[in-house]
């Protein structure tokens, strides 16, 4: 599948895995893991960016726990409509950017965000845009958290490199520890969940 096809599969998505779908369920255990990771290393005035923020359920959890400088990126314009309906204060007070990660990440300054995190988002980036990971490291001032599916779950016959959420939506398995430590970050924590592996990295120094 070509990179533009992957992007299109997430643009204006409805039904399962859409912004409205996740807004219905609200913050979850992963939201709490993200908060705990940020709590351990950062103060409440830290600048935080979520890559693939959707309707904002994880950012809403951070806001409810005192974090104030919140930003997000999402490819689906409809996600921000859902955010305004479901989390109106977050939508009004946060800073949000609509477009593919690979089109937007270069616009941010070096170390602009004290923390950057993603939840089941980087796993959908096409291998042709792997250069984005270096850009993510560049804009991260202190802490990077990834909560991603890293391999097939319970199916020994599954492709070890890619799976499909549906006919149009690939999920690319990567070893996020290897990806980001090879780019100079230091892994300081890992939590293996039933679905996601949540890794916390820090910039050196």
Split at pLDDT 50, 70, 90, the class of 1 is very low
The whole-number pLDDT of residue 195 equals 87
pLDDT, tens only, 68-126: 999 999 999 999 999 999 999 999 999 999 999 999 999 999 999 999 999 999 999 99
Whole-number Å distance between alpha carbons of 73 and 51 = 5
Q: Is the pTM of this model over 0.75?
A: yes
pLDDT, tens only, 148-184: 999 886 554 456 677 776 666 788 999 999 999 999 9
% of the chain at pLDDT higher than 70: 81
The whole-number pLDDT of residue 23 equals 53
CB 82 within 8 A of CB 55: yes
DSSP state letter for 109: P
The whole-number pLDDT of residue 166 equals 61
The whole-number pLDDT of residue 17 equals 53
pLDDT(3) > 90: no
The whole-number pLDDT of residue 156 equals 44
Half-sphere exposure of residue 65, counting CA atoms within 13 Å on the CB side?
Answer: 19
Whole-number Å distance between alpha carbons of 98 and 84 = 14
């Amino acid at each position: 599948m070509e990179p533009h096809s992957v992007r299109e599969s997430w643009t204006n998505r409805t039904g399962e895995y859409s912004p409205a779908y996740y807004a219905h369920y609200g913050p979850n255990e992963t939201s709490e893991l993200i908060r705990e990771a940020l709590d351990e290393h950062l103060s409440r005035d830290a600048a935080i960016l979520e890559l693939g923020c959707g309707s904002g359920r994880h950012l809403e959890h951070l806001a409810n726990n005192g974090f104030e400088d919140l930003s997000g990126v999402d490819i689906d314009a409809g996600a921000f409509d859902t955010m305004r309906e479901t989390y109106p204060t977050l939508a009004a007070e946060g800073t949000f950017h609509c477009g593919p990660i690979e089109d937007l990440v270069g616009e941010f300054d070096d170390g602009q965000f004290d923390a950057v995190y993603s939840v089941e988002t980087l796993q959908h980036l096409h291998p042709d845009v792997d250069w984005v990971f270096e850009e993510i490291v560049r804009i991260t001032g202190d802490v990077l958290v990834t909560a991603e599916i890293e391999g097939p779950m319970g199916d020994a016959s599954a492709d070890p490199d890619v799976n499909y959420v549906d006919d149009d939506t690939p999920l690319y398995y990567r070893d996020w520890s290897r990806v980001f430590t090879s780019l100079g970050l230091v892994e300081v924590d890992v939590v293996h969940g039933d679905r996601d592996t949540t890794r916390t990295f820090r910039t050196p120094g």
